Amino acid sequence: MNVNSIPEKEIVAIILYISLFFVIVSIALIIFFYFSRKKIIQKEIEKKNLVLAHQKEQLHAILITQEVERKRIAQDLHDDISSKLNVVSLNSYLLTSANLTEAEIKEITCNIINLTAKALDNSRKIAHNLLPPVFDKFGLHAGVEELCEEFESCKSVKVYYQNKIDFDENEKDKHLHVFRILQELMNNSLRHGKASEISIIFDKVNGINNCFYKDNGIGFDFKSSESQRGLGMKNIDSRISFLNGNINITSDSNKGVEVFFTF
């Protein structure tokens, strides 16, 4: 068939139909990419909203933890320090009284010395809880060693500690989060888990620091919402997030607790 024999109108019609086809395909592709992009953007927004919500929840948990810690410190200062200093003040005032015998002066002075010594000892304990001097001076390894010794001093639990990492002294801020995580886990093992044995191992695998923690306590149902909502667990999750690490907790009733986290 000769193209020249095709009427001009049919050629124009064919060109129009082809053009219309490409226009429709183009519009369809534009609509497809528009909605695909819109869906991608929507998913990204949802993802960012989830991250923001998680960060907000972590911040809330940290603020609550800080408030609880402030109340505990205030209570300790009031009960242990202020009360003793008040008695010291009263005894000091008694020394200004007239006609005191030598025995009375000696007794009052001894009371002042004893109460002052107790107040100093309690203030050291409060400061130690805020930031252990051994940790501050010698780092995470020494801090964890002392922590293990403190728990073993109660004679109700045996702690096995092994460290295979040479910690960088310039990362003490990060290591403090690791210390607090272990402190929280050990407190839970002793207070709630009734554990008699605790194991802590620091190791480095493929350049990543990790910690394996285990106890032989009564354990708990980690999948329950009540366990996951606990302030202690939220506090641990927040610290792991700051460390850009990951955590995996395995536990069942009467089977102890196993915790693995990276930092």
Per-residue model confidence as pLDDT tens digits over 227-258: 445 556 777 887 888 888 888 888 877 778 89
Quote the number of domains for the chain.
Answer: 2
- b/e per residue, 141-167, with b = 16+ CB within 10 A? bebbbbbbeebeeeeebebebeeeeeb
pLDDT in tens, the chain (263 residues): 455 555 677 777 777 778 888 888 888 888 888 887 878 888 888 888 787 777 676 666 666 666 666 766 776 676 667 777 777 787 787 777 778 788 888 888 888 888 888 777 777 667 666 677 888 888 899 989 988 988 888 777 888 999 998 888 888 888 888 988 898 888 888 888 888 889 999 998 888 899 999 998 888 765 554 544 555 677 788 788 888 888 888 887 777 889 999 98
| One domain, residues 155 and 253 | yes
Is 100 inside a domain boundary?
A: no
Is 96 inside a domain boundary?
A: no
Is 77 inside a domain boundary?
A: no
Q: Give the span between the Cα atoms of 239 and 261, in whole angstroms.
A: 11
Is 136 inside a domain boundary?
A: yes
Is 75 inside a domain boundary?
A: no
DSSP 52: H
Q: Give the span between the Cα atoms of 115 and 30, in whole angstroms.
A: 82
The residue range of the domain holding 248 is: 131-263
Q: What predicted TM-score, i.e. pTM, was given to this entire model?
A: 0.57
Among 41, 57, 73, residue at a domain's last position: 57
Is 76 inside a domain boundary?
A: no
| One domain, residues 41 and 138 | no
| One domain, residues 136 and 28 | no
CATH code, domain carrying 150:
3.30.565.10
Among 33, 57, 81, residue at a domain's last position: 57
User: Mean of the per-residue pLDDT values for the chain?
Assistant: 79
Is 18 inside a domain boundary?
A: yes
| One domain, residues 50 and 152 | no
Phi, psi of 215 (to 5 degrees): -135, 170
| One domain, residues 138 and 255 | yes
